[in-house]
Structure 1
Amino acid sequence: MQLGQFSHLVSPRATYPRACGPESDCTQWLDTKPHGSVLYVSFGSYAHTSKHEISEIANGLLLSGVNFIWVLRPDIVSSDESDFLPVGFEESVKGRGRIVSWCCQIAVISHPAIGGFLTHCGWNSILESIWCSVPLLCYPLLTDQFTNRKLIVDDLRVGINLCDDKNSVNRKEVSENINRLMKANASSEIREQVKKVKKSIRGWNGEKWIICKKFHAVD
């Protein structure tokens, strides 16, 4: 049995307890952006981080000048704070950045305008990104995600670290690594490697794929 319709096997977020309304339909916005020019940013459904790190990532996105879609859950910060973005951030990135609380991930990362994925290294996100030939920028937040990061960066070589110091995030390094991933001349080897890994996954038989998918159940 050959692996054919991978998109039916990876999680398309169909069971997420929220309807796909206008807020989550980012595809029309993506249609207005050049091929491979948009960074998709999402940290999954469960992981949390600090206000400081969200602020540094936001400022890194601002400094990078890159187009982006950022899925920013209201509960992403592990505190009661609701205003965790820098003052004026949304106005500063108007036109090149879109912030939503949820979107249909597989529909977004399969869009031709997407050129990279800043991820928490959840297993489903990794599989979906590889299948769509999208290289990864790694920001693991808990448990197995650190092991997944090693797989992506060191073993498969389909992504890079968001910051070299895995215990600290700073805006300058965030900006530099976003541009490193998104600029075609700097990331050509990674992009070719993603395609090779995708091709090898397509050749797996059903049994190997089931084992791979069961390895991590939560994104």
Structure 2
Amino acid sequence: MLLNAIWTILVLVLSHLGHAIPHYSNTSFNPAQHAALDPCDGINASPVLYHTYGEPECPPNRIFNYRNGFCEGWIGATSKRIALPSARLVGTIFTRAQEVPFPLSECHSPMECTLTHDDTASWNWGIGFQGKLKLAFKVGISGGYGETYGMSDGHSWKFTPEPHECGYFSFIPVKKTTCGPFTEADESWWSGFYDPKTHVDFCVDQVWKVGDKDDGVVIFVKINCID
């Protein structure tokens, strides 16, 4: 009886592990492990999910001048408005994004469920900035602004679901959210820029990548076909 109980527990553990395959993962759940490294460069350290990084940990490319209340330096004249961001007040955080199902991956018992390296899942969160806002965040805030779309490659994976069980393969990407103010001003031909105004707490999401791959995990979502 004891051996049967141990075997049952082992089967349950293996079944659970088999339904969440790490996929190009470069994130960490140990804040102390990468404390001395740069967690926001995507090269030398892995970010900790759901941990808010401040300006010292994830420094912006452009610095906010606390004395005059504006961003230092001016960039990218766009028509008659210019913008420059910094990362004051709010920081950077890495979280799981909305799941992205692999197309045509639905399957049910007794057929075999399969996923291959050639299968892809793509998405577009539909969030973005135009004009001066896009320019500002792309150049200045905490390492740059990335578009909110991406694509994940599949894994070689197959198994047979239990009776009356069905589901689909899905990808859960990791996203990077950065927040901070930006300064804009009118441009005149006789005096350069004047009447600057600072707008605070603008946040943008971007896909977090490991090399040229979108970071995240591939999972199989089980559904009870009877209900």
TM-score (norm 2): 0.22
TM-score (norm 1): 0.23
Max Rg structure: 2
Give the structure with the higher percent helix: 1
